[in-house]
Amino acid sequence: GNVIQGSSGSIGQASITSLGGDISQTAASIVNVSGSSNLVANSGLGQRYHITLANAGNDFGGAVSTNAANLNLRDSNALSVALDSTGSSTLNAAGALQLAGSVGGTLNVTNSGATSLSGTLSVNGATTTSANASVTVNGVAGAVIQ
């Protein structure tokens, strides 16, 4: 798998692919991306792995697309994420949260700003939200929360 170590400032865009294991970070590392991020933990042969980028200092400035088994993302500001996880997903943002995609297991969302859908959202397990502002799910065609 890929393990992110240290903190080297901000990068414009990130594309991290692991064909053989999890994507994670050490306790002292910070992920700081000003543009879009593409995070893939998938062998390409049907085996998915976990993505855990949950340190408090992480900052994903642009949209984040994911492909994983279980997903755990944390952002020190707002977060926009396209989910593709066969397991559970946990999202924690210190600002607004925009999400779309599919979650095969449970979806746990904690954020300080508004939560909204930016497209279709399908969750096969339970959904838990803890937001300090509005949670908007109406008005998006195809939104499915089961």
Nearest-Å Rg of the Cα atoms of the chain is 14
CB 73 within 8 A of CB 53: yes
* pLDDT in the model for residue 141: 47
- What confidence tens digit (pLDDT) does each residue in 12-38 have? 888 889 999 999 999 889 999 999 999
Position 8 pLDDT exceeds 70: no
Residue 81, phi then psi, degrees to nearest 5: -140, 135
Q: What percent of the chain shows pLDDT beyond 90?
A: 66
Q: In one letter, which amino acid is 124?
A: N
Higher pLDDT, 62 or 130: 62
